[in-house]
Amino acid sequence: MSEEDSVSYSDMDSRGFLLIRDFLDQSEVEMLKQDFESAALEVNSNYSVRRLSASAMDRLEPKFRHVNEQVAAQSSVKVDCLNDGVYFSTVSEKATLSSPRKGAQAFPWHQDHENYWMWFDVKNYLNFYMPVVKPVVEKSNLTVVPLDRLHERAPEIHDKLLGRGATRVLPSGSKWVVKDDNRGGKVGTLDFDPAEIEETPELRPGDLLLLRGDLIHRTQDSSTRRVAASIRYINSETQVPRASLAKGGLAKMLMMLNARYLFEPVFQCFDNADGSSVRASEIDLHLKQVRERRLSGQEAQNTSKLAFLSRLTKEKLRS
């Protein structure tokens, strides 16, 4: 029986993640290594990332599709649209919001932010996380808080975080505060350290850690140079409400400003549709068309901060 045959895809409902060993073969790992080296840095000021090439994602897409079919058959999670892919490294290549210390990339406990604001539905959102450079198996992994363990220890917080994103879990005296970076304030408080219920799958190059978008996670450490590919799938039928994108507090505004190259095209898509909501598939198509124009030099890589702040202000007034 192969490693994949023993995988319980229903864990996506009960635990929020699953592990498939040796998901990529050696030639695919080498392909991704070369792709990473040739990829340019994104203009994202929240994270130091490079984007996977379309050809690299297309080569692996049949494998992703097979996993998505199994997840859909054995759980309530449904995705069908390959949206994007980036490389995360434990070594920051530029100063960003998440790397305040020179040469170190800091990812504390959090739920992902940008994908929640862009797609609204992060239960039906999967992250194919695959190390391609991993010198030490025991170090620089991704640490997660399984949904079942969170439900056992803090059922109220568990229920509030399901299908949600854009939170951080930060220490506050003897407790841990779940901070809401979407609207501001806090979601609630944990009376225990999340490390008490964490799991850290020890990954080798080519292993797949499949994560739901609403799972709390963090980088284990940045003591080794680890590079991982992170490919994202969405549900094409999700209806993304226009009002939800602009609403929010200061933390959201800052992160959107730092990643305005992503969010400005989403606003453009709403303008083109002239509606209160747009299907995720339409936004995804528009984003890919914008990327193609930027790669060919037909469109600037980024809009100005002033122009985006003006846009965001108008959207807030509109909503």
Closest CA to 229 of 105, 87, 125, 134: 87
Residue 168's beta-bridge partner residues?
Answer: 110, 179
Q: Are 15 and 146 spatial neighbours (Cβ–Cβ below 8 Å)?
A: yes
Amino acid (one-letter) located at 195: A
CA dist 262 → 107, 155, 223, 229, 251 (Å):
20, 34, 30, 19, 17
Amino acid (one-letter) located at 105: Q
Residue 100 has pLDDT above 60, yes or no: no
* pLDDT at 103 (0 to 100): 42
Q: What is the mean pLDDT of residues 310-315?
A: 91
Estimate to the nearest angstrom the gap between the alpha carbon of 119 and the chain centroid.
11
Query: What are the structural domain ranges in the chain?
Result: 4-145+198-235, 239-319
Please, is 165 exposed, middle or buried when counting C-beta atoms within 10 Å of its C-beta (0-12, 13-18, 19+)?
buried
Q: What is the pLDDT of residues 221-240, one digit of tens each?
A: 999 999 999 999 999 999 99
* pLDDT at 105 (0 to 100): 41
- Residue 110 carries which DSSP code? B
Joined tokens for residue 195 = 């490390």
Q: Which CATH superfamily is domain 4-145+198-235 in?
A: q2cbj1_9rhob like domain (2.60.120.620)
pTM of the predicted model as reported, rounded to 2 decimal places: 0.93
* pLDDT at 104 (0 to 100): 41
* pLDDT at 255 (0 to 100): 94
* pLDDT at 1 (0 to 100): 35
Q: What is the pLDDT of residues 105-152, one digit of tens each?
A: 456 899 999 999 999 999 999 999 999 999 999 999 999 999 999 999
Q: Could you give the 3-state DSSP secondary structure of residue 88?
A: strand
Q: What is the mean pLDDT of residues 184-188?
A: 94
| Residues of the chain above pLDDT 70, percent | 94
Mean pLDDT highest for which of 65-74, 101-110, 244-253, 274-283? 65-74
CA dist 68 → 22, 82, 235 (Å):
17, 10, 11
Q: Could you give the 3-state DSSP secondary structure of residue 292?
A: helix
DSSP codes joined into one string, 225-288: --EEEEEEEE-TT-EEEHHHHH---HHHHHHHHHTHHHHHHHHHHHHHHTSSEEEHHHHHHHHH
